[in-house]
Chain A
Amino acid sequence: MSAVTAGTIERASDEPWGPLPRRLSIGRIGLYAFLVISAAFFLIPLYVMVITSLKTMPEVLASNVLAPPQAPTVQPWIDAWLHACTGGDCSGLHPGFFNSVKITVPAVIVSIGISSLTGYALSFWNYKGANVFFLLLVFGAFVPYQVVLYPLILALRTAHLFSTLAGIIIIHTVFGMPVLVLLFRNFYVGLPIELFKAARVDGAGFWQTFFRIMLPMSLPITVVALILQVTGIWNDFLFGVVFAGRDNWPMTVQLNNIVHTTQGVPEYDVNMAATILTAAVPLIIYFVSGRLFVRGIAAGAVKG
């Protein structure tokens, strides 16, 4: 028989007791060193872009690429936004920025709206041919853009939507759907089917179940879709240059035109500032909604 006694147990000082002590081994140090060096290596381009954008042109040409600016200036940033030239037009990047906003915001909203509805219909309302439809839709995710580019131009021209804002929004919505529907459908399939049954017993129909029950639960997956779509559409170049038309060219197309202007000396400082400005939106979205995303997952837990 063993007895439980209170008080201190007699033990040798080197005997294992309590939590395993954490030791920093050589292997660990090496691993951390490797990680730090890789991170620094991948950050070099960003560092070069930022310091170059803060230098004046003479300094850019005179100094080392990695040297910090002697007299930091924000003039290149102002020039990039307001005065940079593409061909004869010298109004900077800002028209492109607003074009990109005009394309991205409606395209993101429409594509997420349609895709969540389609995903919901495909997961809970098991209608005839649903699986075939879903298969076709997913197949769409693997179609190379080049194959459909020309037929799409013809189709949009026939519908008088070529080179219009509406046209480019439709294109982004359609091409966003395969991945987004897959995303939403798989999210809804993971929800307990009993929730859907309960709503039916309660008398909620197709739309009421979607808007009052399912959509409020979709925050985590909507944030994922938002990140995907905003970065995807903002960064798009091909569709923008082909379908948007000269008046609606997105920021990426204008950035390209600024950087590739062949008159005079290339203004590296302005180019760097313009590039950072163009990349800023997806980066901000990523940092802001990335945090929301984690919070959304924690708050959306169904079972406890």
Chain B
Amino acid sequence: MAQVSVRDLDVGFGSLKVLQKLNVTAEDGEFLVLLGPSGCGKSTLLNAIAGLLEINGGQIFIGGKNVTWEEPKDRGIGMVFQSYALYPRMTVEGNLTFGLKMARVAKDEIQRRVARAAGILQIQDLLKRRPSELSGGQRQRVAIGRALVRDVGVFLFDEPLSNLDAKLRTELRVEIKKLHQQLGSTMIYVTHDQIEALTLADRIAVMNGGIIQQLAPPKEIYRRPVNRFVAGFVGSPSMNFIEGKISKAAGNVGVKLNGGDTTVSLKGYEFSGMPDDGRPVALGVRPEQLTPTSTMNGAAYLPLRVSLIDPMGADSLLWGTVGSDMVSIRIGAEDHYKIGEGVNAGFDPALVSLFDAQSGERV
């Protein structure tokens, strides 16, 4: 049992309030990712859970126990840092055993745990080396190992892959996921990289301005973002927003695009509440939800003028303008379009998002 529960957490530095009355719970064995831009409070939240910074109010429960006033070492957590934070003057073995020696764990028990962690992370050959003799990926493995030997139910990761190059990042990401499946422990993982969040998480908490905007499984975050911030932050290349107004005609609801007389049908879209006619909205469509089409049937399409093509290897990104908005479409790598050409990009209204132009909330 290692549920992590944060209740009414307040954290501030001087007059600056970083987190206010924040509530979030990571269930036992869950992989929870805290995702957000820098300065959104995600690392602050993680440090508060670890007990590494002073909180102004609220409670933290780990494994059903109130640990609000406990030292980090007594909270039953292991932590992995972005800069690895390995002790530079100790060998890998020294790094792994330091915490256990501090806790006066018996010698043979230390040996057993180090052997196990080294086996899981495949760092047996590195035990006698110093951190300066390791590559970035190896260092991060050792840092994970240091959390692993503590034999705890909760792992806290503070942007652990941000210092690695793209290839290593992908490799270690897969390993962290495997590790989670193997150990079944609770993991809380801070990142600003939405790919990491989408691939690793059981649930993602998207944060902005110290507030959790949406807490949901990755698929739902991606498909049904609750507001424009979440929609724009998650997904790469990011979602297109086209400004317009709700128009109701002959029982059909559509969006009349600004700066033109095109009306896009929204037949099949699940409204959370039927909006009034003429309400200003932003239509959110992901690049891969748009396909160039020649048919004009159904009228769910955007008429755009090609302005740029970005080849990305496996596919290409076509940039065009609709009125004054830039819109991107994912197209096949072999498809050819001329700059200035007109293209109709069709989509399924059931899959897109609609946000209020003022509040940014999902309509």
Residues of A within 8 A of B (CB): 192, 194-195, 197-204, 208, 212-213, 216-217, 300-304
Q: Which residues of the partner chain B approach A213 to less than 8 Å between Cβ atoms? A: 87, 89
Partner of A202, one of B73, B82, B136, B158: B73
Asked if B29 CB lies within 8 Å of chain A CBs, one says no
Partner of B98, one of A192, A212, A302: A212
Q: A194-B83, A201-B72, A204-B98 are in contact. List 19 more A-B contacts (CB 8 A).
A: A192-B83, A194-B85, A195-B85, A195-B87, A197-B52, A198-B81, A198-B85, A200-B72, A201-B78, A202-B99, A203-B99, A203-B102, A203-B103, A204-B99, A213-B87, A216-B89, A217-B88, A301-B132, A304-B136
* Interface pairs (9), CB distance under 8 Å: A197-B47, A197-B50, A201-B50, A201-B73, A202-B98, A202-B102, A217-B88, A217-B89, A303-B83
A62 to B99, CA, bound (A): 74
Asked if B228 CB lies within 8 Å of chain A CBs, one says no
Residue of B nearest to A205 (CB): B102
Residue of A nearest to B97 (CB): A202
Q: Which residues of the partner chain B approach A302 to less than 8 Å between Cβ atoms? A: 88
Q: Is the beta-carbon distance between A197 and B102 smaller than 8 angstroms?
A: no
**In whole Å, how far is A53's beta carbon from the nearest beta carbon of chain B?**
45
Asked if B362 CB lies within 8 Å of chain A CBs, one says no
Q: Which residues of the partner chain B approach A201 to less than 8 Å between Cβ atoms? A: 50, 52, 72-73, 77-79, 99
A202 to B103, CA, bound (A): 8
Residue of B nearest to A196 (CB): B85
Q: Is the beta-carbon distance between B99 and A192 smaller than 8 angstroms?
A: no
Residue of A nearest to B73 (CB): A203
**In whole Å, how far is A109's beta carbon from the nearest beta carbon of chain B?**
21
Q: Is the beta-carbon distance between A304 and B132 smaller than 8 angstroms?
A: yes
A138 to B146, CA, bound (A): 39
Q: 8 nearest interchain CB pairs?
A: A202-B99, A203-B73, A216-B89, A194-B85, A203-B102, A198-B85, A194-B81, A201-B72
Q: Is the beta-carbon distance between B146 and A202 smaller than 8 angstroms?
A: yes
Q: Which residues of the partner chain B approach A212 to less than 8 Å between Cβ atoms? A: 87, 98
A212 to B97, CA, bound (A): 13
Q: How large is the interface on B (under 10, 10 to 19, 20 to 34, 35 or more residues)?
A: 20 to 34
Q: Which residues of the partner chain B approach A200 to less than 8 Å between Cβ atoms? A: 52, 71-73
**In whole Å, how far is B92's beta carbon from the nearest beta carbon of chain A?**
14
Q: Is the beta-carbon distance between A197 and B99 smaller than 8 angstroms?
A: no
Contact indicator per residue, chain B 61-78, by CB within 8 Å of chain A (1) or not (0): 000000000011100011
Q: Which residues of the partner chain A approach B146 to less than 8 Å between Cβ atoms? A: 198, 202
**In whole Å, how far is B53's beta carbon from the nearest beta carbon of chain A?**
9
Residue of B nearest to A303 (CB): B83
Q: Which of B132-148 contact A (CB under 8 A)?
A: 132, 134, 136, 146
Q: Which of B72-128 contact A (CB under 8 A)?
A: 72-73, 77-79, 81-83, 85-90, 98-99, 102-103
A254 to B169, CA, bound (A): 67
A204 to B134, CA, bound (A): 24
A137 to B132, CA, bound (A): 35
Once A200-B52, A216-B89 are accepted as A-B contacts, the answer to whether A194 and B82 lie under 8 Å apart by CB is yes
Q: Is the beta-carbon distance between B85 and A192 smaller than 8 angstroms?
A: yes
Residue of A nearest to B103 (CB): A203
Contact indicator per residue, chain B 25-65, by CB within 8 Å of chain A (1) or not (0): 00000000000000000000001001010000000000000
Q: Counting chain A CB atoms within 10 Å of each CB, which of B72, B86, B87, B90 scores highest?
A: B87
**In whole Å, how far is A284's beta carbon from the nearest beta carbon of chain B?**
28
A204 to B89, CA, bound (A): 16
Q: Counting chain B CB atoms within 10 Å of each CB, which of A195, A197, A300 scores highest?
A: A197
A84 to B145, CA, bound (A): 67
Q: Which residues of the partner chain A approach B132 to less than 8 Å between Cβ atoms? A: 301, 304
A43 to B347, CA, bound (A): 85
Residue of A nearest to B163 (CB): A303
A204 to B99, CA, bound (A): 7
Residue of B nearest to A192 (CB): B83
Contact indicator per residue, chain B 136-172, by CB within 8 Å of chain A (1) or not (0): 1000000000100000000000100000000000000
Q: Is the beta-carbon distance between A204 and B102 smaller than 8 angstroms?
A: yes
**In whole Å, how far is B138's beta carbon from the nearest beta carbon of chain A?**
11
A193 to B88, CA, bound (A): 14
**In whole Å, how far is A123's beta carbon from the nearest beta carbon of chain B?**
16
Q: Which residues of the partner chain B approach A194 to less than 8 Å between Cβ atoms? A: 81-83, 85, 158
Q: Counting chain B CB atoms within 10 Å of each CB, which of A195, A197, A198, A200 scores highest?
A: A198
A215 to B52, CA, bound (A): 22
**In whole Å, how far is A127's beta carbon from the nearest beta carbon of chain B?**
12
A164 to B146, CA, bound (A): 51
A200 to B88, CA, bound (A): 16
Q: Which residues of the partner chain A approach B87 to less than 8 Å between Cβ atoms? A: 195, 198-199, 212-213
A302 to B83, CA, bound (A): 10
A202 to B134, CA, bound (A): 21
A200 to B52, CA, bound (A): 8
A195 to B89, CA, bound (A): 12
**In whole Å, how far is B49's beta carbon from the nearest beta carbon of chain A?**
11
A198 to B47, CA, bound (A): 11
Q: Which residues of the partner chain A approach B83 to less than 8 Å between Cβ atoms? A: 192, 194, 303
A201 to B103, CA, bound (A): 11
Partner of B79, one of A192, A198, A208: A198
**In whole Å, how far is B199's beta carbon from the nearest beta carbon of chain A?**
25
Q: Which residues of the partner chain A approach B73 to less than 8 Å between Cβ atoms? A: 200-203
Q: Which residues of the partner chain B approach A300 to less than 8 Å between Cβ atoms? A: 88
**In whole Å, how far is B89's beta carbon from the nearest beta carbon of chain A?**
4
A173 to B276, CA, bound (A): 79
A201 to B81, CA, bound (A): 11
**In whole Å, how far is A233's beta carbon from the nearest beta carbon of chain B?**
28
A301 to B47, CA, bound (A): 26
Residue of B nearest to A202 (CB): B99
Contact indicator per residue, chain B 154-195, by CB within 8 Å of chain A (1) or not (0): 000010000000000000000000000000000000000000
